[in-house]
Structure formats: C-alpha cells, structure tokens
Structure 1
Amino acid sequence: MKAVQIMGFGTADVLRVNDVDRPSPGAGEVLVSVEASSVNGHDVLVRTGGVKMVSGRRFPIGAGLDFAGTVAATGAGVPGFRAGDRVWGMVHPRQRHTVAGAAEYVVVPAGRIAHAPADLSSVEAASLVVAGATALIALRDSVHLASGERVLVRGAAGGVGTAAVQLAHAMGGRVTALARDRHAGLLTDLGADEVLDHGSTAPEQIGPFDVVVDAVGSQLPRYRSRLAKGGRMVTVGLSPSALAAIAASSVYGSRRIRTFSANPQTPLLCDVADLVTSGALRPVIDSVYPLADIAAAHEAFERGGVAGKHVVTVPRGSV
C-alpha cells in the first residue's frame, strides 16, 4: 500500500509517498481504509523535528494525525464497529508511528475512532476531526464558556478558528473574530458578531473579553491583558515563546493562559459528530490535494492565510 512518510527532519521536501506493507489489526484494533486526511500543526511539528521527544529520531516516521474512511477489518474484541462502517479518528499524537493517517490504510485502537456523521463526505469529515475536537475542548472543557459571554477567537479563519467561531456562537457567546479582512464574510456566516482585521487591530484596541481562544501562539501576554475580571484564555498555538508566556502567566490564577494537547477518543469524537448532526458545526475547507501532492499541502499550510482546512485525499492506485 501507499503511505506518506517523513524521511528526515526538514521542509516539506522530506515527505515521501512510499510502498509499505499493509498492516493487520490486532486484538482491540481496527484497520481503516483511509479516504482523506488533513494537515495540522502537529504534522508540521513532527516533520520539522519540533516534537522529537514524541516522534524519536528514527526514520521513516508516519505522517498525518487524523483520517476519515471506512472500516476494512477488526481485530478480536472490538464491539461496535464492523467492516464497511464509515468512521473518523486520529492516531495517538504522543506516540511514534511509522504509518499514520496519510496512508491507504492505518491501524488504530478501536477507542481512537467513532462513526463519522452520515451527512459528511470523507473529505469534509477529515477536516473536522482535529479542528472540531480541539475547539470543543477549548471552549467547553478548558474555559467553560457560558451563554452571553464575550469571546475573542484569534486566528479565526484557520481550521480550529472556524470551528471555534461556530461552537462559541452555538454556545451563546458574543463572538469577535480576529482574522484577515478578506475572511469577514465567511466568519460572519459562521456566527461571528464582529470581525476585525488582525493586520490593523492591536490587542490594546479591543476588549475586554470574558474568553480568549488563541489559535496563533504569539503575543499571548498582550491578548491575556484584554481579559475582563474573571476572564479565561486558552491557546492551541504552541511555540517556544508561547510556552514561556503560558508558564509566566501562572501568577494570574484564573486569568492565566491555559493550553492542552488535543487527544480525542471515541466519546469526544461522538460529541463532535452530534454537533455536526445538530447543525452547530460544519466543515470549512480551503483546498484539497491528492496524496501525491502532500508536500504542496504542507507548504500551503505553512504559508498561512487559509480559510479552513487543507485536506489530502487518498485515491486508490493513483499515486
């Protein structure tokens, strides 16, 4: 089968579509025939060596955090799934993989998948696995957004940002989206009450906010200062400077900068599916690439300026 693998740390040129043995599921595992995967910040960190403590330094390393497709086979002791079921899920972000989501087939524990929403194509589903789960954890579990609160979503046009705008709106938040001016129409349609151009709006010009959701990872202290009394901030844009700002913010107690590593399992993926079914969350896709062009998808992700997600399709026999 075909699988995208990282052959050394570096730019997108280190990605290769290799021929590898098709895996078989063991006890408690599921073999998924992958139809689509998306590009996430975690994928870039693995490729560039930013998470060597997780990925290790032995190559090849599998690429692709999430996936959507159908169950091809199950191992012993896997209730609830059978061949042909449409599913979505992700590999464990804190484990090393030689084959991951950007492959024709992937084996994962059954607890790392859920039935995909029936109304979504696999491309649409793949765009929401990490983005939807991350936004839901941020708003529901990290900052505990309450109806009527003022919410700033920074990096609002990206994958996590577009999901966060939708979910904050669905949860009753009064949403201010910070993004490029050209994305104002999209973000308004997704539920933003106000859209501000990030290039011409300084943090000191806005707020205060009850909640700040940051998907960028820079200038965090300046945005934390825009919190109202009792406000909460969470960032999913991690970098060395972000980690330093998070640590330094601990002196502010409840107004500190929170973060987390999204690691959705079946219950959370089911919650995201319910939000899709209810109409509270829909996919936003910037562009779609075939598996053979995954390097171009990574390059586009790193350039930024997206409206939604970059998704990679896995057509059989076309690589």
Structure 2
Amino acid sequence: MLAARYHRYGPPEVLQIDDVPVPEPRAGQVLVRVHATSVNGGDLHARSGRLRFLARGRFPLGTGLDVAGEVVRTGRGVTDPAPGDRVWGVLPRSTVSGPLGAAAEFVVADAARLSRAPGNLDPVEAAALPAVGTTAVTALLTHGRLRAGQRLLVRGAAGGVGSAAVVLGHALGAHVTALARGSVLDAVRGLGADEAFDHRTVAPGDLGRFDLVLDTAGGRGLSVWHGLLGPRGRMVAIAPTSPASIAAILLSTVHGPRRMRFFSGDPRRADLDALTAHAVRGDLRPVVAAVHPLDRIADAHRALEAGGGVGKHVVRVLPASG
C-alpha cells in the first residue's frame, strides 16, 4: 500500500510516498481503507520537528490525524464497527508519531476512536470535520456553554477550528463576531458570521464585550482578548503546539477555570457520535479550502502553512486495489 511519510524533519518537501505493508489490526482495533484525510496544524508541527518529543520511534514517521473510510477487518473482540461500515475518527497524536498516519491507503485504529460517518457527507467532506468539528463542539458547548442570543468572538475564524466554530455558533443562535485576514472576510461572513473584521487592523477595544471568546490563533496578547469578556464571560484557548499554550495555562491560574479554559482535543467515540448528530442536523458542515491527491500531500502542507484560504485542506486517498 502507499503511505505518506517523512524520513527527516523539515519543510513540506520532506514528505514522500512510500510503498509499505498493510498493517494488521490487533485486539480492539480495526483496519480501515482510507478514503480521505485532511491536514491539521499539528501535522505541520510534527513534520517540522517542533513535536519531536512525542515521537515514539525512529524515522520514517507517518502524517495525518483525520480518518474517513471503510472498515475492512476487525481485530479480536471488536463487534462495532463492522466490516463494510463507513467510519470517521481522529488518530491520537502518539499514533501519528509512529510509522503510519491517516495519510495512507490503509490505517489501523482503535475501535473506540471511530464512529459511523454521517450518511449526508461524502468522504472528502467527512475527512474535513472530525478533529476540528469535535474541537469546536467541545470549545463552544462543553467549555464555553454557549447559548442562543449570546455574543461569541472567534479569533482565527478562517482556520479549521475557527471556521467550524463560526458555522456552529451561528447554528446555535449566537451573535458571531469573527477575526480573520482581510482577504477572506466575505467568505467568513458566508459561513454565518454576523460581523467579520481584519485582525491586523481592528482595535480590540472597538469590538465590544462577549459572553465567549474562542482563541484558535494563539500568539501574544491573550490578556487583551480575555479583557473583552463580559461579567460572566468565558474564554477558551486552543493553541496546543505554540508558546501561547503556556501563556493560556498561566492565565487560567490567574483568572480561574470558570473564566479561562485551555484544552487540546482527544476525541473518542462519544465525541464523534455527538459530532455526527450535529452534522446530520446541519448545525455543522465541512468547510473545505481545497482537495489534494495523496501524491501531492506536500502541496496541502504548503497551502496550510501559507494561509489564504478558509477551512480545511483535504487529501484524497485513492482506494487501494486488492
């Protein structure tokens, strides 16, 4: 089978397509024929070497967290999902730091990390949603407790999590204010943002007060965005691989967990089942910036690093023969 891997840390050019054996599922696992995956920020950080402390073994290393495909075989003790089921899920980062990730024709995954994919999404759409969708649901509903009529500020609204949060926030009946690059503001409004501003030119003090601030961009100045909270407002920060994560954690100790929450998603079946329900209802829909073939996965990494689009870069994996 074919799999995208890298044999050293570096720029997107280190990614190559290797011919490797099809893995075998162990107890509690399933073998999935991958239809599509997508590129997340964590994939870029891992490939560049910024997450080398997570690597479990030596090179080569795989890439790709999101899985959308079909179960081929099950390991001992697995009855759900079953062969032939269309599934989606998110591989743990420790798995991706091994020799295979989701950017491969086949992947082995724990059954507990997969759920049946929504029937209203095709494989490309399904691959765009698991990681960012579960993160958006957890951020807005579990940690943010967002309700209809509340004011939501999304920083980094053009990214994967940010665009999903704009869509979900609008569906929940919140007033959504989005911060993104000036060139994509119309597209962000099209996702459901009531207001959209260029993050480089807007003065935070002119934005007003918010019931929930979702920060997906990281960087400096988290205290500035925290200062926009209303009396009962909350801030949720998602920057697990940047220096801002440390600042977010420190800020939470100062302002208390009720006001500031930092988290890094690790979705299981229950989270994916909840995401499926939102997708079926239409509360969340995939936002796809571009689709790339597996042998051009380096282009997907380059595009995400360069920015400029809205949503996810999906990698279509051609089904293996035989």
TM-score, L = length of structure 1: 0.94
Aligned AA (2:120): D
Deviates more, 1:156-165 or 1:139-148: 139-148
> 226, 230, 241: which one pairs with 1:224?
226
- Report the equivalent of 1:143: 144
Q: Where do 1:247-262 residues align within 5 Å?
A: 247-249=249-251, 250-254=253-257, 256-262=259-265
- Report the equivalent of 1:73: 73
Question: Aligned-pair distance for 1:168?
Answer: 1.4
Aligned AA (2:17): V
1:101 to 2:99 alignment: no
Give the secondary structure class of the aligned counterpart of 1:178: strand
- Report the equivalent of 2:169: 168
Output the CA distance in 1 between the equivalents of 2:222 and 2:196: 19
In the alignment, is the contact (CA less than 8 A) between 1:23 and 1:105 conserved in 2? Answer: yes
- What's the CA shift string for 1:29-75, capped at 9, x where partnerless? 11000010100011111111222221246211111111101111111
Question: Aligned-pair distance for 1:239?
Answer: 4.6
Aligned AA (1:105): F
Output the CA distance in 1 between the equivalents of 2:205 and 2:49: 35
Question: Aligned-pair distance for 1:147?
Answer: 2.4
Aligned AA (2:213): V
Output the CA distance in 1 between the equivalents of 2:203 and 2:4: 40
Aligned AA (1:223): W
- Report the equivalent of 1:50: 50
Give the secondary structure class of the aligned counterpart of 1:274: helix
Distance 1:109 1:240, change over 3 A: closer
Output the CA distance in 1 between the equivalents of 2:256 and 2:179: 25
Output the CA distance in 2 between the equivalents of 1:4 and 1:240: 25
TM-score, L = length of structure 2: 0.94
Output the CA distance in 1 between the equivalents of 2:134 and 2:249: 24
Q: Where do 1:88-237 residues align within 5 Å?
A: 88-95=88-95, 96-218=97-219, 219-237=221-239
In the alignment, is the contact (CA less than 8 A) between 1:217 and 1:239 conserved in 2? Answer: no
What is the root-mean-square deviation of aligned Cα atoms in Å? 1.7
Aligned length: 318
For structure 1, list consecutive stretches of 5 or more residues without a partner in the other structure: none
Q: Where do 1:265-304 residues align within 5 Å?
A: 265-304=268-307
In the alignment, is the contact (CA less than 8 A) between 2:70 and 2:86 conserved in 1? Answer: yes
Aligned AA (2:271): L
Output the CA distance in 2 between the equivalents of 1:106 and 1:47: 19
What percentage of residue pairs aligned between the two structures are identical?
45
Deviates more, 1:247-256 or 1:154-163: 247-256
